[in-house]
């Protein structure tokens, strides 16, 4: 009996292995965050074609999507990602610190701090902007219902929160109590806190909840394109944050899979002109000047602050605001 | 030897060995691992985690909604069981079979279906919205999902007991001049109480742990619509393993307690029935 | 006089009956009927072609295959366990029996999230065995074995729980008789016990299988959500739902719902057979007695 059981478990393991093997094909796993689904679907096909032309080998890239923090947790727990493409640097830092699967200086491995594209945070409102939402001030007013995901699990939600904080900080000249009051008022207006950016978009667009969605710029464009042509409008606030979603090769995993080279090429191709074209097509702001110029009129001009300048870097921002006992918890606790 | 009594039947060692081995491998060792993990916490910090305000709010919500749903199920589940046992009507067999749907239907399917129905634009939600009743993304939505999940438990525990209550005792009561309501209150209902409570307890226990259907409909607002299983998930996603483990243990203790209560109730129910 | 009262009473009774039936059916309609119908409506309202094409994508097919694979491994294992446990509990009196029963029941009342969590704590990279598994290139969680383990855990008690009362009710006289007449243990089991319990067994397997195919919470924790690799059907439903692809999500959900309905039909059939299945085995022992003597 024992032997039989062990045999069956072993055979299950072997079968699982067989899934991954796939004769003569290179398999990559890209663990990413919520709103990049459509981007990587197209990019993976383009890269496979490019790589086939260059080396003759067939690459298939599998995708896993979810809230950025949650995805990082899975990689730390052993989700065998060859590359990670997450919403913010802190989540990849966490992987480096807690699992040593990649070096601590991972951000130096690729150009521009390993962020091949940027984005920002904008508002999505319903047709005609019935609540006249123009800027962050309007979100903290009573009677306005705001949709944003949970900063504890979602990367986008953390950008949203910091963008609001940075705005208030400027407005109140850094008066901590007033800033905190402003952000508290804003979050009092949030009726639903989804675990990922995609969940929030669904809540706002499909279920018709809320007056305004604080959203990734690319996600807002996508929502209009896919779901609400004519029903939704994008509002650009006076100031927002420069969101830099980073990418990295998970070196130890890739080494074990023998995919180090192709994994690196996969990320580097994102910086190339065709890669940047795809990026721009999916409403991310391209890094490459030529492509950026071509799509310049597509993106609203917003004054952008960076996490480094406004918050002293991600590590500090995470600790002050989002760790247990941070400002976000303090803001949420008293409300009943 | 563990055996209390000798028997000619073979296979005690084989069946016993395999049962204990498999139980250990699949259930006991993994659950034990949770306790090993938690042992890195001091008693004080364990207590601090499981009594944090946000955690307490989630207990209150989980207990409250599971209790409300189990109560609704106790009333309507009883009614359904009563109708199925006592009254003839067309399509009865179909309805009887359909009662088990929540057992068979994946919780995720129940979750997206109920959310779509009760969202403000949904089939049912659009009629409730003007009345000021918000269901999806409120505690009420959680109750709706848990009613769905827990319904068969009450029906299926009450139904067989109801079938076995002898007509004679009822008829005897009536021939002695009792009214229908008196017969029900004094003869039938007391026989049903243990099974009704057992069904209630099972629906309640299932409701406490339910995740799949609730996560879609609840909206997941900390302090407001965040159930305890979701909080465990959130803690996991934030790399907070000790926190997740501590909460897991407190929920496990609750499950164990509920199981004990259910077994007692079923034993009581069996005894009642045997006597009556 | 009394006839008139009787008649009036019976009309009143009938009215009460109808009211009860109406209330019960209305409740079931709202809580079971509408959700059931809505799944198919949402799946089909973009047309049959959209429905079909949602189910033949590579990811959908691999999700269906994976679900079948996981259930195909988990259910037989729990079947073997269920028989062993039922034999042990229904046929022997031993110390610690009620404790054993409670432990077998435990997975029923443990939250699915915890069922997944415990395997992450053991097999995850930060867990007890994780680093060793990583060095030896064995993937348990975020791969098929993890999905199988979590599924076995949540469906653990189903077969045992169905079989124990059946075997207790039947009693061991027939088995003892067969043994005394010289049958071996295995023969006794195959020819006396098994025919007696086959309907109960089937019933348990049907329930076990339904849960194995539909489990969401536990597999969600250990899956890693890799499309085409570790997404079971319920997880694929969630993914499609989160991609604004509602028609496809409900198409996949409708397949699961059909499976659930098939489960209910199979279950009703078994229950129906169950009722008159007893007695046959008594006859069998009688004929065997004749043969042996």
In a domain, B5, yes or no: no
pLDDT of residue C162: 87
Measured between beta carbons, the chain B residues lying within 8 angstroms of C234 are: 106-109, 212
Q: Which residue has the higher pLDDT, C267 or A161?
A: A161
Distance of alpha carbon C161 from alpha carbon C207, whole angstroms: 11
Whether residue C266 lies within 8 A of chain A, CB to CB, comes out as no
pLDDT digits (tens, 9 = 90+) for C151-168: 999 999 989 988 988 888
User: Which pLDDT score is estimated for C278?
Assistant: 46
CATH at residue B213? 1.10.3720.10
In a domain, B42, yes or no: no
C228: left (phi over 0), alpha (psi -120 to 50) or beta: left
In chain B, positions 209-228, which contact chain A (CB-CB < 8 Å)? 219-224
What is the pLDDT, as a whole number, of residue A9?
A: 52
Residue A18: pLDDT above 70? no
* Cβ contacts of B108 on chain C, cutoff 8 Å: 214, 216, 234-235, 237-238, 253
Query: Which residue in C232, C229, C208 sits closest to C220, CA to CA?
Result: C232
Query: How does pLDDT run across C77-101, given as a tens digit for each residue?
Result: 999 999 999 999 988 888 888 889 8
| pLDDT band at C196; cut points 50, 70, 90 | confident
pLDDT one digit per residue (tens) for chain B, 276 residues: 467 777 778 888 889 999 999 999 999 999 888 888 888 888 888 998 899 888 999 999 999 999 999 999 999 999 999 999 888 888 888 999 899 899 889 999 999 999 889 887 788 988 888 888 888 888 999 999 999 999 999 998 888 888 887 677 777 777 787 777 888 888 788 888 888 888 898 899 889 888 888 988 887 777 778 889 888 888 877 777 888 889 988 988 888 888 888 878 877 777 765 544
Look at residue B33 and tell me if it is in a domain: no
Residue A10 has pLDDT above 80, yes or no: no
Q: What percent of chain C has pLDDT over 90?
A: 37
Q: How confident is the model at residue A150 (pLDDT cuts 50, 70, 90)?
A: confident
Q: Find the residue in B nearest to A205 (Cα).
A: B121
CB atoms within 10 A of CB C11: 10
Q: Are B112 and C253 in contact (CB under 8 A)?
A: yes
Question: Mean pLDDT throughout A218-243?
Answer: 88
Distances (CA, A) of C242 to A149, A193, A200, A279, C147: 14, 15, 10, 21, 21
More reliable by pLDDT, B171 or A166: A166
Question: In this structure, is residue B57 part of a structural domain?
Answer: yes
Q: With a cut of 80, say whether residue C220 has pLDDT above it.
A: yes
Chain C neighbours (≥3 Cβ pairs under 8 A) are A, B
Phi, then psi, of A37 in degrees rounded to 5: -55, -50
Do the chains contact at C103 and B27, CB–CB below 8 Å? yes
For residue B145, the enclosing domain spans 52-275
Structural domain contains residue B36: no
Interchain CB distance below 8 Å, B107 and C216? yes
Put simply, whether B137 touches A (Cβ < 8 Å) is yes
Residue B14 in any domain: the answer is no
Supply the pLDDT for residue A24: 58
Residue C74 has pLDDT above 90, yes or no: yes
* Nearest chain C residue (CA) to B116: C38
Contact A3/B at CB under 8 A: no
Token representation of residue B84: 């199925």
Look at residue A335 and tell me whether its pLDDT is greater than 50: no
Best of B48, B139, B225, B237 to mutate (most A CBs within 10 Å, chain A): B237
Element (H, E) at B115: helix B107-118
Helices (H), B165-227: 167-175, 180-183, 189-209, 212-217
Is the per-residue pLDDT at A304 higher than 90? yes
Which one has a higher pLDDT value, B219 or C240?
C240
User: Given an 8 Å threshold on Cβ–Cβ distance, is C237 in contact with B112?
Assistant: yes
- Secondary structure element (H or E) that encloses residue A233, with its range: strand A232-235
- Per-residue pLDDT averaged across A155-175, rounded? 93
* Cα gap B112→B136, rounded to integer Å: 11
In a domain, B77, yes or no: yes
Tell me how long chain A is: 336
Q: pLDDT digits over A76-93, tens only?
A: 888 999 999 999 999 999
What value does the mean pLDDT take over residues A147-153? Answer: 87
CB burial of residue A127 (10 Å; 0-12, 13-18, 19+): exposed
- Per the structure, the count of domains in chain B is 1
The closest alpha carbon to B230, from C118, B239, B216, B242, belongs to B216
pLDDT, average across residues A207-226:
89
- Rounded to an integer, the average pLDDT of C231-246 is 87
Give this complex's ipTM.
0.85
Question: Do residue A78 and residue C145 have CB atoms under 8 angstroms apart?
Answer: no
Chain A interface includes B238 (CB < 8 A)? yes
Task: Order the strands of the A25-32 sheet from edge to edge.
Answer: A58-64, A25-32, A83-85, A247-249
Query: Tell me, what's the pLDDT at A1?
Result: 45
Contact C141 A226 (CB under 8 A): no
CA angle C49, C55, C61 (to 5 degrees): 150
For residues A18-44, average pLDDT: 79
**Residue C293 clears pLDDT 90, i.e. is over it:** no
CB neighbour list of residue B112: distance below 8 Å, 6 or more residues apart: B216, C237, C238, C241, C249, C250, C253
- Whole-number average pLDDT of chain A: 87
pLDDT at C283: 37
DSSP character at residue A284: P
- Alpha-carbon span C85 to C101, nearest angstrom: 9
CB-based burial of residue A105 (10 Å sphere; 0-12 exposed, 13-18 middle, 19+ buried)?
A: exposed
Residue window 24-43, chain C: list those with CB within 8 Å of chain B: 24-25, 27-28, 30-36, 38-39, 42
Assigned domain for B73 exists: yes
> Are the Cβ atoms of A76 and C126 closer than 8 angstroms?
yes
According to DSSP, the residues that pair with A26 across neighbouring strands are A59
C121 and chain B: CB distance < 8 Å anywhere? yes
Give the containing element (helix H, strand E) for A124.
Answer: strand A117-126
Residues 6+ apart with CB under 8 A from A257: A27, A80, A82
Determine the Cα–Cα distance for residues A231 and B7; give it in Å rounded to an integer: 77
Residue of C nearest to B84 (CA): C21
């Amino acid at each position: 009996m024992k032997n039989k059981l062990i045999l069956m478990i072993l055979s299950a393991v072997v079968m699982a292995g067989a899934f991954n093997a796939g004769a003569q094909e290179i398999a990559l796993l890209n663990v990413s965050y919520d709103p990049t689904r459509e981007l990587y679907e197209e990019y993976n096909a383009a890269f496979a074609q490019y790589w086939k032309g260059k080396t003759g080998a067939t690459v298939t890239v599998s995708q896993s999507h979810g809230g950025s923090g949650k995805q990082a947790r899975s990689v730390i727990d052993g989700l065998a990602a060859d590359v990670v493409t997450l919403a913010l640097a802190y989540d990849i830092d966490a992987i480096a610190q807690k699992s040593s699967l990649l070096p601590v200086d991972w951000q130096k491995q690729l150009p521009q701090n390993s962020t091949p594209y940027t984005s920002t945070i904008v508002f999505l409102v319903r047709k005609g902007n019935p609540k006249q939402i123009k800027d962050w001030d309007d979100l903290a007013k009573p009677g306005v219902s705001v949709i944003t995901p949970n900063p504890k699990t979602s990367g986008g939600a953390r950008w949203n929160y910091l963008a609001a904080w940075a705005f208030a900080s400027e407005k109140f000249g850094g008066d901590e109590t007033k800033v905190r009051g402003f952000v508290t008022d804003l979050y009092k207006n949030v009726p639903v806190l989804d675990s990922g950016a995609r969940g929030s978009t669904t809540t706002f667009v499909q279920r018709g909840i809320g007056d305004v969605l604080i959203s990734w710029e690319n996600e807002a464009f996508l929502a209009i394109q896919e779901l609400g042509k004519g029903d939704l409008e994008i509002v650009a606030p006076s100031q927002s944050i420069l969101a830099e979603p980073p990418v990295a090769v998970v070196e130890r995993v890739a080494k074990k899979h023998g995919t180090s080279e192709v994994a690196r090429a996969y990320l580097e191709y994102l910086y190339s002109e065709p890669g940047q074209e795809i990026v721009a097509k999916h409403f991310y702001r391209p890094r490459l000047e030529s492509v950026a110029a071509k799509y310049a009129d597509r993106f609203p001009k917003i004054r952008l602050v960076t996490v480094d300048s406004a918050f002293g870097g991600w590590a500090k921002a995470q600790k002050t605001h989002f760790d247990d006992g941070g400002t976000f918890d303090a803001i949420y606790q008293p409300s009943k | 030897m563990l055996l209390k009594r000798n028997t000619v039947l073979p296979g005690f060692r084989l069946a016993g060995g395999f049962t204990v081995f498999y139980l250990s491998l699949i259930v006991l060792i993994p659950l034990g691992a949770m306790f090993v993990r938690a042992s890195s916490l001091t008693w004080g910090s364990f207590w601090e985690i499981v009594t944090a305000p946000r955690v307490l709010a989630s207990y209150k919500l989980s207990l409250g909604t599971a209790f409300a749903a189990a109560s609704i199920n106790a009333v309507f589940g009883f009614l359904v069981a009563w109708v199925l046992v006592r009254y003839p009507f067309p399509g009865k067999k179909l309805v009887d079979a359909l009662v088990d749907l929540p057992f068979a239907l994946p919780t995720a399917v129940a979750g997206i279906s109920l959310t779509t129905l009760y969202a403000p634009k949904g089939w049912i939600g659009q009629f409730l919205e003007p009345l000021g009743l918000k269901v999806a993304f409120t505690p009420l939505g959680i109750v709706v999902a848990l009613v769905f999940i827990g319904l068969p438990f009450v029906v299926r525990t009450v139904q067989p007991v109801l079938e076995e209550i002898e007509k004679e005792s009822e008829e005897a009561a009536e021939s002695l001049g009792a009214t229908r309501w008196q017969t029900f209150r004094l003869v039938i209902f007391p026989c049903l109480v243990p099974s009704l409570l057992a069904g209630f307890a099972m629906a309640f226990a299932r409701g406490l742990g339910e995740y799949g259907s609730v996560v879609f409909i609840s909206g997941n607002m900390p302090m407001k619509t965040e159930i305890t299983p979701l909080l465990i998930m959130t803690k996991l996603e934030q790399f907070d393993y000790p926190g997740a483990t501590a909460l897991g243990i407190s929920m496990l203790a609750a499950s164990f307690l509920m199981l004990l209560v259910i077994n007692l109730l079923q034993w009581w129910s069996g005894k009642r029935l045997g006597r009556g | 006089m009394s006839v008139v009262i009787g008649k009036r009473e019976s009309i009143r009774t009938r009215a009460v009956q109808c009211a009860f039936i109406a209330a019960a059916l209305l409740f079931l309609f709202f809580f079971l009927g509408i959700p059931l119908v809505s799944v198919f409506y949402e799946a089909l309202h973009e047309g049959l072609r959209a429905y079909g094409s949602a189910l033949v994508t590579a990811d959908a097919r691999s999700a269906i295959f994976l679900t079948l694979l996981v259930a195909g491994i988990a259910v037989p294992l729990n079947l073997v366990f269920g028989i062993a446990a039922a034999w042990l509990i229904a046929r022997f009196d031993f110390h610690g029996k009620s404790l054993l029963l409670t432990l077998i029941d435990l997975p029923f009342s443990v939250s699915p999230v915890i069922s997944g969590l415990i395997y992450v704590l053991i097999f995850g990279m930060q867990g007890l065995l994780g680093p060793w598994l990583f060095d030896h290139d064995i993937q348990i969680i975020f791969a098929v074995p993890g999905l199988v383990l979590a599924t076995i855990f949540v469906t653990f008690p189903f077969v045992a729980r169905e079989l124990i009362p059946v075997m207790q009710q039947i009693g061991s006289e027939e088995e003892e008789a067969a043994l005394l007449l010289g049958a071996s243990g295995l023969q006794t089991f195959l020819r006396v016990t098994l025919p007696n319990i086959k309907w109960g067994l089937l019933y348990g397997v049907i329930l076990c299988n339904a849960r194995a195919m539909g489990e969401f919470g536990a597999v969600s924790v250990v899956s890693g959500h890799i499309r085409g690799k570790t997404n079971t059907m319920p997880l694929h439903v969630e993914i499609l739902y989160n991609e604004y692809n509602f028609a496809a999500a409900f198409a996949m959900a409708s397949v699961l719902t059909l499976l659930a309905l098939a489960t209910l039909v199979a279950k009703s059939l078994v229950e129906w057979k169950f009722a008159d299945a007893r007695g046959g085995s008594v006859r069998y022992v009688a004929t065997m007695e004749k043969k042996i003597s």
